[in-house]
């Protein structure tokens, strides 16, 4: 009789190429602003789980942990200048995450929509796709490179340009999309599935309306989930039911 051998099977990914949208606040310390290296290291470990499955992974990161252009605009700053400052802040976050990923042996490239060759590569669609095909994680920084567009819109645009199959919208506060703010209202209801039209009509805070409209026109699904629960990025990629699915049909 052959001895029993314990065999572990890795879950098979549902998606081959994904775009992960992270908020800047996910990288912030519990109190205050800036970059918490422990939080960044935890994100890197979560990304590595997906990378080890063979999934091609691109990321877009916000800058709310450093500054929000809208806050400065409200205090009288020119909108274009405020947005440009925010775009530069996303590059800072991207470099921090690149460093954390490479510390756990995940090859990573930062591609910026604003040219700054001394610190990262310029964003070129074919170059980004080639990096993905070569097994590198790609961080797409500086938004679209133009003011008046959010990082949500940048994530939708880049996802379509690189041929991503899904956008993974990682929240650092909630575990999906709710009809009301679940932090303030205990009776808030979480949706398991929504259509793009329902998101727009209900004015639900998934992504901004421009990003949702772009995804709807190109039938690009979005999964909204909680980043704080370990393993959730892997669960989303392997097709487990988590968070809220936003797509063409509810």
Residue-range domains of the chain with CATH: 17-247 (3.40.1160.10)
Asked if 67 and 89 count as a contact pair (C-beta separation under 8 A), the reply is yes
Residues 6+ apart with CB under 8 A from 52: 10
pLDDT band (50, 70, 90) for residue 250: low
With a CB cutoff of 8 Å and minimum separation 6, the contacts of 136 are 107, 108, 109
Q: What does the alpha-carbon distance between residue 88 and residue 100 come to, in Å, rounded to a whole number?
A: 19
CA 165/CA 187 separation, integer angstroms: 33
Q: If you average pLDDT over residues 91-100, what whole number do you get? A: 98
Report pLDDT digits (tens) over 11-64: 789 999 999 999 999 999 988 889 999 999 999 999 999 999 999 999 999 999
Task: Reduce the DSSP state of residue 51 to 3 states and report it.
Answer: helix
Q: How confident is the model at residue 180 (pLDDT cuts 50, 70, 90)?
A: confident
Extract the tokens encoding 151: 């990082």
pLDDT tens column, 182-237: 888 888 899 999 999 999 999 998 899 999 999 999 999 999 999 999 999 999 99
Average pLDDT over residues 139-163: 97
């Amino acid at each position: 009789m052959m001895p029993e051998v314990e065999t572990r099977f890795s879950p098979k990914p549902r998606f081959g190429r994904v775009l992960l949208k992270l908020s800047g606040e996910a990288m912030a310390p519990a109190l205050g602003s800036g970059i918490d290296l422990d939080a960044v290291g935890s994100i890197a470990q979560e990304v590595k789980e997906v990378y080890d499955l063979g999934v091609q992974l691109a990321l877009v990161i916000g800058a709310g942990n450093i500054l929000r252009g809208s806050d400065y605009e409200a205090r009288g700053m020119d909108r274009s200048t405020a947005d440009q400052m925010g775009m530069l802040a996303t590059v800072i976050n991207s470099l921090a995450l690149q460093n954390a990923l490479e510390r756990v042996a995940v090859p990573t490239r930062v591609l910026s929509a604003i040219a700054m060759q001394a610190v990262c590569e310029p964003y070129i669609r074919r170059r980004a796709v080639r990096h993905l095909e070569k097994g590198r994680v790609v961080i797409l920084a500086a938004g679209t490179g133009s003011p008046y567009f959010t990082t949500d819109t940048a994530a939708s645009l880049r996802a379509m340009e690189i041929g991503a199959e899904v956008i993974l919208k990682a929240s650092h506060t909630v575990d999906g999309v709710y009809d009301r703010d679940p932090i303030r209202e205990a009776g808030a209801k979480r949706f398991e599935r929504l259509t793009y039209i329902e998101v727009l009509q209900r004015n639900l805070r998934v992504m901004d309306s421009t990003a949702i409209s772009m995804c709807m026109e190109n039938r690009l699904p979005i999964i909204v989930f909680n980043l704080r629960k370990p393993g959730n990025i892997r669960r989303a990629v392997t097709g487990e039911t988590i968070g809220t699915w936003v797509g063409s049909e509810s």
